Amino acid sequence: MITSTLIPDTNTRRQFIEKSMKLAIVGGIGGLSLFSGCKDKDDDDGQKVSPPEDLMQEHGLLNRVLLIYDNCRQHLSNKESFQRQALVDGAGIIRTFVEDYHEKQEENYLFPRFKKANQLTDLVDILLQQHNAGRALTDKISQLAKITNPTDGDNALLLNALSDFNYMYRPHEAREDTILFPAFRKIVSKHEYDSLGEEFENNEQKLFGKGGFETMVDKVATIEKTLGIYELAQFTPKI
């Protein structure tokens, strides 16, 4: 009787099946574990925002208020009427979110660590001086924008204050985004870096509630719509 070498006998076949099942189970558990680990990592990456990324997002909000200031400056320069309440509201966002929150985060958490590490100390000194100058300008902008029947002199002062604010803050935030924030990761430990991100988020929620940043973005969008500068397409040049 001739037995085919391609067909294993009963014992061999049983051993083969048992071994295959064990490999499948082990492989399945390992694969599931690997998949779960990747999923958790993706979820964490989606939820956690690093301190510099958080601050850069807030710079995006600041930039949109600077655009509001630009629009109001243009109206003042052309001696055109415009919704002055939009300027009052814009200055209010600068005061509450940018100066009293965003800049305080930088002053309380970033600047002291750069000083302690003796890194970028000259830059930090200038940035702090500009924070203080910005607060003085915001006081002036808020007061002048609230005048019911402004004179030409009042409007000239307001125009100058808006110009000074934007002239200072565009290079200010650019220097932070390109030099200060990238260097921050190098002067703190990974644990401290991660914990600061959580602390930033907690501070934001204490002051503005859950979704505070998104609420501020919505407020800025409302001001932009009031001034007719919300639609992004209008800024595309005709080429």
How far is C-alpha 23 from the geometric centre of its chain's CA atoms? 48
pLDDT, position 12: 45
- Indicate whether this model's pTM tops 0.85: no
3-state secondary structure of 171: helix
Q: How far apart are CA 68 and CA 225, in angstroms?
A: 10
- CATH superfamily of this structure's domain 51-230: nmb1532 protein domain like (1.20.120.520)
pLDDT, position 141: 98
Beta-carbon contacts of residue 138 (< 8 Å; ≥ 6 apart): 91, 94, 95, 99, 165
pLDDT, position 31: 40
pLDDT tens, the chain, 239 aa long? 444 444 444 444 444 444 444 444 334 433 433 333 333 333 344 556 788 888 999 999 999 999 999 999 999 999 999 999 999 999 999 999 999 999 999 999 999 999 999 999 999 999 999 999 999 999 999 999 999 999 999 999 999 999 999 999 999 999 999 999 999 999 998 888 888 888 888 899 899 988 889 999 999 999 999 999 999 999 999 99
In sign, the C-alpha dihedral spanning 108, 114, 120, 125 is: positive
Dig out the tokens for 120 from the structure.
């970028």
User: Are residues 181 and 52 in contact, defined by beta-carbon separation less than 8 angstroms?
Assistant: yes
Q: Parse the chain into domains and list their residue ranges.
A: 51-230
Integer Rg of the chain from CA: 29
User: Are residues 29 and 181 in contact, defined by beta-carbon separation less than 8 angstroms?
Assistant: no
86-92 contacts, C-beta under 8 A, 24 or more apart: 86/223, 86/226, 86/227, 87/141, 87/145, 88/142, 88/145, 88/146, 89/219, 89/223, 90/65, 90/220, 90/223, 91/138, 91/141, 91/142, 91/145, 92/142
Q: How far apart are CA 177 and CA 182, in angstroms?
A: 7
SS3 content of the chain, % helix, strand, coil (to 5): 85, 0, 15
pLDDT, position 53: 86
Amino acid at site 32: L
Dig out the tokens for 9 from the structure.
């006998």
